């Protein structure tokens, strides 16, 4: 178990380190939390032993991650001397008195090779037992990721769902006339510009293994689909046909992209290889607009937006071939479908009067829940654990990113000082 | 050769293509009128802001016969493209809300460019479709594409070759007007004609 985590950690770190040659963006996204979960689990995160001696404290990051989810209430550990770091130090009655159901303790020490040994234990106050605990070996620049990893383990142990604190997000920032495709940690920290242009960039889409991004750039005076490696920074045009090329979406096996091409007239959905080689295979044959394809997690169904019925609505079509079936019926404008990673529902944008809001529809019952109440909400995408939806909205005329829990109760807002942020896409779990 | 027979030939090709793709009626209208706007497919609910789904009511509007004049003028040179006194210097076709119909007032402009392309087979253009900021960015790319293709189809009916015209779309990404009101939105519901190498 431990080795698996360490392996995954080192893989994720390798991905992060690969950004090193790219200039880090100065401004990180700042997060503001609005609303809380239906029930909040009271938890204390005690500062780790020797943590004050290192440049990157770990427990504040863990606590901020847990608090941001809206599912935890942080219990203060102030006024205790000495602070507990090992199970035998814990006086459970103290924590019971403070109202904590769980306590996180741990330590950091430097290893002979210069790295840090970071270890933590999650303790159940009522039962007075350890729920989980791990040790990590991390270099100084891996400490923040290690903190996210620990928050993921705690989140999973206490909620049953995998944590997404160590995942990343991609989005576009418009600064004056400059468009930047950025990738940041899920908490908005460590933003890196992976591509910039004086022409618009839009529709970033993560490869299922999180190592590549597909996106649309207008730098050739028309929409062209690119795929860029996040490990090497290299990019190539993969759909640059006569007319417009847009709306890339990865198949779950990572082998192909669904894209929208106008090469044969109109906007229709095609499959292409991720290297852009070979003939595009046409998937829709309508005289209407068919766009915004999105694969189901099992790769068998393709959702897309079409106005074949007179207004833009969401349709589902078997990838193996067969009739497209209309899925949305409420209202006259339903666009941008994105599957829940569990495959049981999808999120999309529904127009209500003059407002555009994030909604979720159940695949089986077709029940619809509208989750947001902004004026212009756009580009929703699920977190890989299906618990949160990231989307773009506008506050005082400026684009900002927001996230809403899939039950609509917890909202977070991520703002960037320097510009307009839009087109967010939540990346997958690190492989 | 006058333009009339050519228009009909193009229209027939157009009709056959449309028949194959299953949209018939609007093209028959095109055949009948020669200079009727090249209509888009049925259900072309462009912009689609607030209107319920309905028939493509406004897709075809009878128009005065402006497109079928014989082409007897002497060929125009590239200088005409930038001559402010020449209609060829006008490059923007504006669209109504919820529409991709090329309006009567833009017929002379589209006709002039089609004639120029016909007379200058080496000339190539890009038609850049645009839309207003409301709604999905990708859907707006498709709406802008529909507008640029409407202009392209009209030019083809008037004698320009398909290979001379690339229809593309910027969607809502490159707004000329940046306001958030109807005046700005109207300015951005537009297709621009750009000559390559200009």
Using a CB-CB cut-off of 8 Å, the residues of chain A touching B49 are: 333, 351
**Looking at residue A133, what is its pLDDT?**
96
Q: Does the CB of B48 have a partner CB in chain A at under 8 Å?
A: yes
Q: Does the CB of A424 have a partner CB in chain B at under 8 Å?
A: no
CB B4 within 8 A of CB B70: yes
**Domain encompassing residue B134:** 3-50+58-195
Q: Do domains A39-159 and A168-426 have the same CATH topology?
A: no
Please give the Cα distance from A103 to A44 (Å, whole number): 5
- What interhelical angle do B137-157 and B107-119 show, nearest 10? 60
Residues B10-65 have pLDDT tens digits of 334 444 444 444 433 333 333 333 333 333 333 333 354 333 333 333 344 445 55
**Looking at residue B85, what is its pLDDT?**
92
Going from N- to C-terminal start, the domains of chain A cover 39-159, 168-426
**Looking at residue A20, what is its pLDDT?**
33
Please report the residues numbered 88 through 117 in chain A whose beta carbons come closer than 8 angstroms to any beta carbon of chain B. Answer: none
Of B149, B166, B173, the CB nearest to A200: B173
Of B53, B146, B169, the CB nearest to A223: B169
Q: Across the interface, do A312 and B170 touch by the CB < 8 Å criterion?
A: no
ipTM: 0.90
CB A403 within 8 A of CB A411: yes
Q: What does the pLDDT average to over B128-150?
A: 96
**Looking at residue A28, what is its pLDDT?**
55
Q: Across the interface, do A423 and B137 touch by the CB < 8 Å criterion?
A: yes
Q: Which two tokens stand for residue A418?
A: 């320097």
Q: Does the CB of B170 have a partner CB in chain A at under 8 Å?
A: yes
Residues A175-224 have pLDDT tens digits of 999 999 999 999 889 999 999 999 999 999 999 999 999 999 999 999 99
Q: How confident is the model at residue B119 (pLDDT cuts 50, 70, 90)?
A: very high
Beta bridge partners of B195: B125
Instruction: Reduce the DSSP state of residue A102 to 3 states and report it.
Output: strand
- Among the CATH numbers 3.20.20.70, 3.40.50.10070, 3.40.50.10540, 3.30.70.3000, which is that of A39-159? 3.40.50.10070
CB A274 within 8 A of CB A238: yes
Below-70 pLDDT ranges, chain A: 1-33, 36-37, 416-418
Domain of B140: which CATH number? 3.30.1330.60
Q: Does the CB of B58 have a partner CB in chain A at under 8 Å?
A: no
Q: Which of B25, B52, B145 to mutate to test the interface with A (most CBs of A within 10 A)?
A: B145
Q: What does the pLDDT average to over B91-107?
A: 93
**Looking at residue B51, what is its pLDDT?**
37
**Looking at residue A21, what is its pLDDT?**
34
Q: Across the interface, do A247 and B138 touch by the CB < 8 Å criterion?
A: yes
Residues B85-97 have pLDDT tens digits of 999 999 999 999 8
Q: Across the interface, do B169 and A200 touch by the CB < 8 Å criterion?
A: no
Residues B12-24 have pLDDT tens digits of 444 444 444 443 3
**Looking at residue A387, what is its pLDDT?**
94
Work out the mean pLDDT of chain B and round it to a whole number.
74
Task: Chain B: give the shortest CA distance to residue A171, in Å.
Answer: 14
Residues A337-362 have pLDDT tens digits of 999 999 999 999 999 988 999 999 99
Beta bridge partners of B193: B127
Residues B145-192 have pLDDT tens digits of 999 999 999 999 999 999 999 999 999 999 999 888 999 999 999 999
Phi and psi at B111, nearest 5°, equal -60, -45
Ranges of H-type helices in chain B = 3-21, 25-33, 79-82, 107-119, 137-157, 182-188
Q: Which of A259, A310, A425 to mutate to test the interface with B (most CBs of B within 10 A)?
A: A310
Q: Across the interface, do B21 and A285 touch by the CB < 8 Å criterion?
A: yes
Q: Across the interface, do A222 and B166 touch by the CB < 8 Å criterion?
A: yes
Using a CB-CB cut-off of 8 Å, the residues of chain A touching B191 are: none
**Chain B residue whose CA is closest to A285:** B21
**Chain B residue whose CA is closest to A314:** B139
Question: Which of A333, A338, A293, A339 minimizes the C-alpha distance to A309?
Answer: A333
Q: Which two tokens stand for residue A308?
A: 């074949």
Beta bridge partners of A89: none
> Looking at the domain covering A168-426, what would its CATH class be?
mainly beta
| % of chain B beyond a pLDDT of 90 | 54
**Looking at residue A396, what is its pLDDT?**
83
């Amino acid at each position: 178990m431990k080795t698996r985590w360490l392996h995954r950690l080192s893989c994720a770190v390798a991905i992060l380190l690969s950004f090193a040659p790219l200039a880090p963006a100065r401004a990180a996204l700042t997060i503001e939390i609005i609303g809380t979960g239906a029930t909040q689990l009271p938890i204390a995160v005690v500062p780790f032993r020797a943590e004050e001696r290192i440049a990157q404290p770990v427990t504040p990051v863990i606590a901020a991650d847990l608090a941001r989810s809206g599912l935890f209430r942080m219990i203060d550990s102030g006024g205790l001397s000495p602070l507990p770091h090992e199970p035998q130090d814990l006086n459970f009655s103290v924590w019971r008195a403070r109202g904590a159901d769980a306590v996180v303790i741990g330590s950091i020490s430097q290893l002979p090779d210069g790295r840090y040994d970071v270890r933590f234990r999650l303790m159940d106050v009522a039962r007075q037992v350890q729920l989980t605990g791990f040790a990590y070996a991390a270099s100084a620049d891996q400490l923040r990721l290690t903190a996210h990893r620990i928050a993921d383990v705690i989140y999973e142990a206490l909620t049953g769902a995998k944590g997404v604190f160590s995942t990343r997000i991609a989005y576009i920032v418009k600064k004056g006339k400059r468009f930047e495709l950025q990738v940041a940690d899920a908490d908005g920290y460590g933003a890196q510009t992976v591509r910039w242009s004086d022409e618009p960039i839009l529709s970033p889409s993560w490869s299922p293994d999180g190592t590549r991004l597909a996106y649309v750039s207008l730098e050739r005076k028309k929409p062209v689909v690119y795929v860029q490696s996040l490990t090497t920074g290299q990019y190539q045009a993969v759909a640059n046909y006569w007319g417009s090329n847009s709306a890339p979406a990865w198949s779950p096996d990572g082998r192909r992209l669904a894209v929208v091409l106008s090469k044969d007239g109109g906007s229709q959905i095609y499959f292409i290889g991720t290297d852009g080689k070979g003939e595009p295979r046409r998937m829709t044959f309508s005289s209407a607009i068919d766009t915004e394809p999105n694969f189901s997690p099992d790769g068998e169904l393709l959702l897309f937006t079409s106005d074949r019925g007179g207004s833009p609505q969401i349709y589902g079509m078997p990838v193996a071939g067969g009739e497209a079936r209309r899925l949305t019926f409420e209202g006259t404008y339903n666009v941008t479908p994105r599957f829940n990673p569990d495959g049981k529902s999808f999120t999309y944008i529904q127009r209500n009067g003059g407002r555009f809001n994030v909604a979720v529809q159940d695949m089986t019952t077709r029940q619809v829940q509208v989750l947001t109440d902004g004026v212009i909400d756009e580009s929703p995408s699920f977190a890989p654990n299906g618990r949160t939806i990231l989307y773009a909205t506008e506050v005082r005329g400026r684009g900002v990113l927001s996230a809403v829990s899939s039950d609509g109760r917890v909202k977070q807002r991520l703002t960037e000082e320097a510009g307009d942020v839009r087109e967010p896409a939540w990346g997958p779990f690190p492989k | 050769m006058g333009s009339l027979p050519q228009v009909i030939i193009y229209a027939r090709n157009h009709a056959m293509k449309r028949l194959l793709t299953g949209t018939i009626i609007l093209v028959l209208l095109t055949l009948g009128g020669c200079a009727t706007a090249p209509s888009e497919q049925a259900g072309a609910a462009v912009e689609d802001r607030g209107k319920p789904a309905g028939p493509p009511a406004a897709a075809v509007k009878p128009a005065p016969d402006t497109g079928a004049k014989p082409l007897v003028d002497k060929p125009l040179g590239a200088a005409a493209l930038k001559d402010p006194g020449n209609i060829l210097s006008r490059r923007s076709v504006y669209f109504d809300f919820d529409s991709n119909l090329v309006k009567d007032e833009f017929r002379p402009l589209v006709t002039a460019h089609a004639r120029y392309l016909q007379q200058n087979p080496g000339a190539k253009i890009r038609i850049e479709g645009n839309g207003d900021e409301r709604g999905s960015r990708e859907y707006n790319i498709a709406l802008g594409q529909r507008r640029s293709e409407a202009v392209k189809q009209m030019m083809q009916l008037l004698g320009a070759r398909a290979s001379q015209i690339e229809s593309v779309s910027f969607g809502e990404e490159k707004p000329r007007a940046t306001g958030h009101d109807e005046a700005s939105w109207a300015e951005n519901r537009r297709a621009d004609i750009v000559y390559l190498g200009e």
